[in-house]
Structure 1
Amino acid sequence: MKFLKNLGLVLLLFILLAVWVVLPWQGALILAALLALWMFVFRSGMQTRSVAAVGISTLTQRLGSSAVIVVGIAGVVGVLVSLLAMAEGYGQTLRNSGSLDTAIVMRGASANEVSSSLTRDDLVQISQAPGVARNAKGEAILSAETVVAANLPVKGSKTDDQASAQVRGVSEAAFAVRPNVKIVQGKSFQPGLRELIVGKGALRQFDGLQVGATMKLGNQPWTVVGIFASGDAMESELWGDATMVNDAYRRGNGANSATVKLENPAAIKAFGESLENNPQLKVKAMTTVEFFAKQSERMTQILRIIGITVGAIMAVGAVFGALNTMFAAVATRAREIATLRAIGFRGLPVVIAVMLETTLLALVGGVIGGGLAYLVFNGFEASTMAAGSVGKLSFNLAVSPQLLWEGIKWALAIGFVGGLFPAVRAASLPVTTALREA
């Protein structure tokens, strides 16, 4: 019978934790309000408040044991939020790279720009599709772009290590389809010349990219003439004239992709259907928001899995720390709890009071851990490792309010589990036995 009781308790615990994981902060506030209402209106709630007040008032006498819970949970939350901030920052950087009124066109079966190819005829037909915005001269606002990789020396490396940087050949319309790109130092490249502008992220990652520096791309000398900022993934790239990049890498007169300005966000439907229904084209079109969201999806999932796995491993240790601490705390208060039950206090108020004490310590630990993660890692500069022909991506870690809430939820969940079993034991222990143990 005892085994079935314990099994039921464990199953209930898993159900409650599953619900808690998906609970938004509004739901948590509602639960807190209902708990407060119960504690001030109902008799059993008032008993809970009395028992909890006594336990919380003695926390100052148990600073050492209480600190075990707070520090353990703060460590879990701090590490968890910091790791998840990598995924959040990476995803934000790529999502910021797109907009709803621009579209990217690639070869139909291509997963990314590097594996795509468009001919000159393809580019002409794409520019004539309905929904494409036009400038004052009536020309389609379309940037035919070539993406290649260049190995550059990593900044700060003492062993002359090199990594892959992404070089993008663009047309003059690139600044019209990406108005957030601004030259912050030097000037823009001139069409027809081997000149480059470098993103701020690439400048931080690689050596030899300051204005006036020369470098080799495709065995040809190029000059860095400017630095640009965009606040997105483009900052990790080097830009030059598409015709000159094609010539340096012997790419002919085609491109990897075409980025177009749409008349309005709703124009993507007519634009995409026109290209798909064109028998001479085998291309696919999507908004740049959708494109970059897909590009970030896999890496974001990997980073989240790593963060949650590490956090879960640390959480197990924190739970055991909380269990040991609360079992010890309950044992020292066995006589007090037994006396309360002897004079009419029921088991439920005792259980909830002990759990409130643990939850309060867990909340303090969660706030400390989340706060430290925000102060240390929010905005922290990081970069991905280059893979294959894809260059390194520079991004800033982002500790968002949602991540802080996730950290608080983990903290409260650890406190809930760590306090539940000691609380149940305190409430279910026979009064006579509790008095003898005390």
Structure 2
Amino acid sequence: MLPFTYALRNLFRDPSRLLQTVGGSALVVFLLIAAVALTRGMDEVLSASGSTQNVLLVGKGSEESIERSEVPVAAESATATSVVGIAEKLGVTAVSGEIFYQAPVLTEDGTKGPALLRGVFESALLVHVQVRLIDGHFPSPGEVMVGHLAHRKLGVPASQLEVGKSIFWGNEELKISGIFVAPGTVLESEIWFDRNDLASLTQRDSLSSVTLRMDTAELEDIELFTFQRNDLELSAIREDRYYAKLSEFYEPIKLMTWVTAILVAAGAVFGGLNTLYAAFAARIKEMATLQSIGFGRVALFISLIQESLLATMTGTLLAFLAAYFLLDGRTVPFSTGTFTLVLSPAVILAGLSAGLLLGLIGTIPPAARCLLPKLPSALRSN
């Protein structure tokens, strides 16, 4: 076997080729890391937002969009009194009639941005058990409570959505009464209103949905209630299934991300192949000389692979450094909320695998071509 130092020294024989290989592999691995982190981040936040114990009652035909749903206000009390086995706390049934709305709001610094608004009463805390108030209090009329990532959705500094600040919607000024967290869910990007306030501001006389939390009840019990109350025109869907459908809705965006990453990767691989073909073609005589003094083709092939892997893994390391400073922990807004890019073990494994594959796939064809000529003709080559 050739010493490892031989491959290491050969890296610096052509600095321009080294920079091209390292830079190309760094770009490809960085894009792949971004694509994996993006798709996993979106999937994880949507899957975490829905509870298997919660059921949504929405208007028939609106199972895929709560915002388009219309549910009679009477459905909230009818559900609480008619369905047996709903969770209770301190004698209060875990049923929450809610209004959803998307609209731009204005902050005190004059910034206007899109916001996800939810009109609720305090019973919402019984069904959205992951919500925890970290500052202030639940909103009263004329007040709102904001998720701690709502400023990312609005595109403003967190200081603009502190307790005591105001937001403006039309001619209405609403004081921020509290800040809440709901780790890993889209709820953290929302602004919660007193339900009566949001109904008045949106001129709605109906709800968007009724959310209930099951204890001993089953989904079939709730579906039976919707069949018995045809006058309410309700459809029942488990909350986790609703968010799973939302995830499917975003599949085209994820696909476009992957297609972009694959196209860039393909360009880098073909560019690397051209570079290595030219570089290794100039070393055919050198490889033949090493064979003539006793080194086998397998040993030479392994040395060429080592040389390429050193360059691509250096690029991979640079890609991880760039991802750590530019991607890790960054919050990305999308229409339903926000999600955070995380360099999770799965993302790291994908990046390392890409670096290894680049080093192997980009090297095997030119290395094999370099070693294929018979020894006499290879020694005579220029």
Of 197, 201, 219 in structure 2, the residue corresponding to residue 244 of structure 1 is 197
Q: Deviations over 1:180-216 (max 9, x none)?
A: 32222322113xx222112222234266644334455
In the other structure, the counterpart of 2:146 is: 198
In the other structure, the counterpart of 2:40 is: 88
Among all aligned residue pairs of Structure 1 and Structure 2, give the percentage whose two residues are the same amino acid: 27
Residue 132 (structure 1) aligned with residue 82 (structure 2): no
Q: Deviations over 1:253-279 (max 9, x none)?
A: x31011212216xx5443454345435
Give matches, 1:19-58, under 5 Å. 50-51=1-2, 53=4, 55-58=6-9
CA RMSD of aligned residues (A): 3.1
State the TM-score, normalized to the length of structure 2. Answer: 0.84
Q: Deviations over 1:97-155 (max 9, x none)?
A: 22222222222321111011111333334333244212232x42111001123322379
**Judging changes above 3 Å, is the alpha-carbon distance between structure 1 residues 311 and 55 closer, same or farther for their aligned structure 2 residues?**
farther
Per-residue deviation, 1:228: 1.9
Residue 335 (structure 1) aligned with residue 285 (structure 2): yes
**Judging changes above 3 Å, is the alpha-carbon distance between structure 1 residues 323 and 277 closer, same or farther for their aligned structure 2 residues?**
same
Q: Which amino acid aligns with 1:74?
A: A
Q: Which amino acid aligns with 2:149?
A: G
In the other structure, the counterpart of 1:258 is: 210
Q: Deviations over 1:229-250 (max 9, x none)?
A: 2232112211122233223322
Q: Which amino acid aligns with 2:57?
A: V
Residue 400 (structure 1) aligned with residue 344 (structure 2): yes
**Judging changes above 3 Å, is the alpha-carbon distance between structure 1 residues 359 and 155 closer, same or farther for their aligned structure 2 residues?**
farther
**For the Cα contact (< 8 Å) 1:350–1:426, is it kept in 2?**
no
Give matches, 1:258-277, under 5 Å. 258-263=210-215, 267-275=217-225, 277=227
In the other structure, the counterpart of 1:15 is: none
Give unmatched runs, 5+ long, in structure 1: 1-49
In the other structure, the counterpart of 1:307 is: 257
Give matches, 1:216-235, under 5 Å. 216-217=168-169, 219-231=171-183, 232-235=185-188
Of 151, 162, 169 in structure 1, the residue corresponding to residue 104 of structure 2 is 151
Q: Which amino acid aligns with 2:18?
A: S
**For the Cα contact (< 8 Å) 2:108–2:165, is it kept in 1?**
no
Q: Distance in 1 between matches of 2:252 and 2:112?
A: 25
Of 112, 118, 137 in structure 1, the residue corresponding to residue 65 of structure 2 is 112
Larger CA deviation: 343-352 vs 200-209? 343-352
Larger CA deviation: 307-316 vs 173-182? 307-316
Q: Which amino acid aligns with 1:197?
A: M
Q: Deviations over 1:144-169 (max 9, x none)?
A: 0011233223798xxx6633312111
State the TM-score, normalized to the length of structure 1. Answer: 0.74
Of 51, 59, 62 in structure 2, the residue corresponding to residue 99 of structure 1 is 51
Residue 375 (structure 1) aligned with residue 325 (structure 2): yes
Q: Deviations over 1:81-108 (max 9, x none)?
A: 1244233333333333222222222223
Q: Distance in 2 between matches of 1:168 and 1:223?
A: 15
Per-residue deviation, 1:329: 4.2
Of 62, 83, 98 in structure 1, the residue corresponding to residue 13 of structure 2 is 62
Q: Distance in 2 between matches of 1:182 and 1:432?
A: 78
Q: What secondary structure, in the 3-state scheme, does the structure 1 residue paired with 2:68 have?
A: coil
Q: Distance in 1 between matches of 2:180 and 2:287?
A: 67
Q: What secondary structure, in the 3-state scheme, does the structure 2 residue paired with 1:369 have?
A: helix
**Judging changes above 3 Å, is the alpha-carbon distance between structure 1 residues 150 and 336 closer, same or farther for their aligned structure 2 residues?**
closer
Q: What secondary structure, in the 3-state scheme, does the structure 2 residue paired with 1:62 have?
A: coil
In the other structure, the counterpart of 1:426 is: 370
Q: Distance in 2 between matches of 1:272 and 1:433?
A: 82
